[in-house]
Structures are given as C-alpha cells and as structure tokens.
Amino acid sequence: MRKVASKRALRRARVAGTVGTVLIAVGSLGGGAMPVSSHPWPQPWGMVHGSAIALAGVAVLVTAWAWLFQLVGTGRRAAEHRVSTRDMAATFLWWAAPLLLASPLFSQDIYSYLAHGSCVRIGLDPYWGGPVDLLGRLNPLARNVPPIWAHSPSPYGPVALGIAAAISAVTQDAVFPAILLHRAVSVLGVLAAGWASMHLARRFGVGGASALWLGLCNPLTLLHLIGGIHNEAILLGFLMVGLEVHCRGLERLRAGTGGWWLLAASAVLISCAGLVKVTGFIGLGFTGMALARELAARRGIEDADRLPRLRDVGSVAGAAVFQALILAATTVAASVGTGIGLGWMTVQGGAAEIRSWLSVTTEIGVIIGTVGDWFGFEITDTAVHISRIVGIAIALMCMALLLWRTYTGRIRAAGGLGVATLILVILFPVVQPWYPLWAILPLAAWTTEPWARMGIAAYSAFLSFLVLPPGTGMIASAVITVYLSALAGFLALAAVWWFSWRMLDDAASTAPEDTPRTMDPPRSGVRLASHE
C-alpha cells in the first residue's frame, strides 16, 4: 500500500512539474530572450505577460521538485525504497521535454555563442575582440549579442568554441536551427552528467534517485542549462564523466589489473571540461590528489592522515606530472584540431568588471563603500576590489586544505571538488544563478548529510526566481507586475490542482464500497458438489 501511495505521489509530482515547464515554454513565446534580427518563435503576448506566465511555471516546477523530497529522502542509499533511479530519470525527461522548443530563457548568452562560433568558422580570432568588433554592427548574429558582451572577447576555451563552430557550419548561421542544436548539445551534456551521478552515488552510499533529484532534476539545471543553454552543461558533462572514469581507474589500479588508461582518459575528459571554462580544471587537482594517495600507498606510506612530510613529495609530484602531461597534450590537440590558439588564457576575468549582488564579497565591498560615502570618503571601488581579493584568497586557502584532505583520504575527490567549488562560487567576484551547479552536481552524488542536501535545495529554489525570463532588466513597475501576476497565477493553479486531486481521491476512496462483494472461492482441498 505504501509503495502504491509513493507511485501515486511520484506521478502527481511528475505531472505538476511538466505543467510547470509547459507554462515556462509557453511564456517564453514573448517573455523569453528573443533574437532581435529574426523572430522564428510565435509571439502571442508581450514581454511582461510572457514573463509572468513563465515565472508562474517556475513556481509550479519548484513546488513539484520540493514535493519529491518526501520520496527521495535524505540521500542515504539504504533509506530509499519508494522511488527508483529510473523513475527519477524519467521525471527529468518529462520535465525537460517542453523546454526543448522554447525560446532561450533567463539569459542572452546563447547569442554570444552563435557569434563566436561564426567567427571561428570563418577564421577570425574570438580572443582578439568582441562579436561586433569582428563581425561588424550590421551582422545579424552580432546584432543579437547583448550590449554588455558586444565588445568582449570570448572567455571560453577551444572545446566550447569548437562545438560552436561546428554548429555554425551545420546551420550556416541560421539562428533558429543553431539555437536548437546548441540546446541538443546541452541536453547531451546534462544526460552525461546524470549518468555519471548515478554511478558515483552508488560508490559513495548515496541513493541514485536522490542524486538525480538534487542534481539532474534541480530547477537550476532545467531552467539554465536546458532553458538558458549555457556552456556549463558541456562542462559538467565532461567533468562528471571524468570523475566516474577516474574512480574506475583507481579501482583497477588497486586490483592490479591496469587502470592507467582509464586514469589518462579521466584526465582528458576533465581537461576538456576546463577547455570549456577554466573552472573545470579544478577537477584535475582533486583527482590528481586521489591518484597521489594511491601512489603513496604503493610506496608504503599508509599513515597519510597527518602533516605533510618530505616523503609525500614524490607521490604528489608524480601525480601532478601525470595530470600536467595529459592536460598539455589535450590542450594542444584541442587547439590544433579547432584551429583556435591559446588566447583564452589571457582573456579570463573580464566578467569581474560586473557588480553581481549575488557575490558575497562584492556586496561586502559595496556596503563598506556606502558607509564610507556617508562620511565623505569615496572608497567604493577600492573596497570592492580589496573585498574580492580577500574572498579569492580565502577560497584558495580552503581549496588547498581540501586538496590535502583528499590526499589523506579524509574526503573523496568528488566531495572535495564539490565543497571547494561551492566556497569558490560563494566568494567569487561575479556569481550567476547557474554557477552553483559547478558544485551542486558533484555534491548531489557525494553528500548524505540531510542539512547539506536541504541547504542546497533551499539555495537552488531561491536562485530559481532571481532572473527574469528575458534575461534582461525591466523598469521597476514592470518587474513588480511580473512577480505579482506570477504569484496570482500560481495560487490559482494551486487551488485548481488541490480541488481536482481532492475530488479524484474522494472518488477513488468510495469506489470499492459501491462494488458488490463476491463469494470467496472455496479453500483448496474442498470440492463443490456438481449438478449432473
């Protein structure tokens, strides 16, 4: 009976989430980040009405996702009996399907991807200047790039730009097909990350369904990696698969059945993640420390849980050389294969010029500067700069400590990567709502602490409402109208939903009483007299 009730709850949450993503897709037809040079999507309503519909859908999706928490539990594998990994994977597909044909949502970054892909395809250097500088103001793709990035070189590596160039070649820079192909690539990246999450979760004692709930079915994943089509989908696909392959390589190494080729493949995959966006390279440090621990064990250094000693240097250096050689070879191969140089190394940090209120360090600097302004000191820029430097320094110190704890075996590589990346995101100079996914997916497959999982879930739900569907700002009155209309729509849908399911439950509970009972069949061994 309990299993039947759980299946019923799963179906209802799945249907509710699908209704939410349908509303998001419908609202995107006017409320999404529409291209300015062409309008391949119908626009039955304007930006304000479309945004309100989409945000109401976000509220429905977040509610359905939170509803599933009662089924997946705290994350411990032994506690999960009510919903399977396959059920949760199917739920993700149900929720993601309506977004496949939606217009870009919550960000206009996809238009920068299209423009930079075109630049690479025709032989221009995307690290020399912005899309407008390279393609000209009259170019249809350059016209779609948001003004803030119009003159900014691409911050992405050769793997991301190589994929964008391939899509540009296939679509011949047609905006609508190119967006759909980019979204297809994002879906593949998310599915690859989900596959790795399931396998990593089994290794760490986390329920597969719980890992997929917190990572793959997370509203941030659906809204920003699939709806917003961000390159983080590709990054996380390479990174998560690289972590799983690394674990398999270490297992074979311990068993004496090889494993070095799997470790090399893992380093290639994680290097590719970094060649999408440089934050992916952090994974090489943690997998390298896990490899160093294995090398130390082979040298008889078993008491690794203590302060570093001179004899640790050989193990750590050996793993570092191995990772560095693979990284160098992968970088050269990607650069030569795509025809893109190493300019991405010199254009990092351009986004730091933006003041993001989600960044703790930026907010601290602004608050200090505001207080200084009250006393006649114009120190806001200086305060923000110093606060950001201090934040990065703290994040790097925490990362160094977690790397050492990975070497000593007190934390697994995936867990150390997740915690370190989460600290980095919190203290990063610029934070976008999809940046926490760098940490959420590894943590979803590793941590079983209820407070950690609930904290991540609450943080994800909060971030889901912070960006308007068009990915641009609106005047204050329009923003208020959008949020109030979305709230009214959500409450109306919730009321209809509650009354509908209440009526169905009442009908189901009274149905057996109206059915006439039949005589129980005779017990075995008792024969009824036959009438001949």
Please tell me the distance from the alpha carbon of residue 435 to that of residue 443, in angstroms, as a whole number: 14
Residue range 123-175, pLDDT digits in tens: 888 888 888 888 888 888 888 888 888 888 888 999 999 999 999 999 998 89
pLDDT at 509: 60
Read out DSSP for 120-167?
HHTT--TTTS-HHHHH-TT-HHHHHS-GGGTTPPP-S-HHHHHHHHHH
Going by pLDDT thresholds of 50, 70 and 90, the confidence category of residue 531 is: very low
Looking at residues 414-433, what average pLDDT do you find?
A: 92
Query: In the predicted model, is pLDDT for residue 436 greater than 80?
Result: yes
Percent of the chain scored above 70 by pLDDT? 86
Residue 366 C-beta-side C-alpha neighbours within 13 Å:
11
- Quote the mean pLDDT of the chain: 85
Residues 51-98: pLDDT tens digits?
999 999 999 999 999 988 888 866 665 445 578 889 999 999 999 999
- The token pair that represents 61 in the structure block: 């999706």
What is the average per-residue pLDDT within 349-373?
A: 75
Domain parsing of the chain, residue ranges: 2-354+391-494
Asked if pLDDT for residue 518 goes beyond 70, the answer is: no
CA–CA distance, 186 with 175 (Å, rounded to integer): 16
Residue 311 buriedness (CB in 10 A; 0-12 / 13-18 / 19+): exposed
Task: Kindly report, residue by residue over 215-270, the tens digit of the pLDDT.
Answer: 999 999 999 999 999 999 999 999 999 999 999 999 998 887 878 999 999 999 99
> Cα(239)–Cα(26) distance, rounded to whole angstroms?
32
Give the pLDDT of residue 268.
97
pLDDT at 216: 94
The helix (H) or strand (E) run that includes residue 402 is helix 380-408
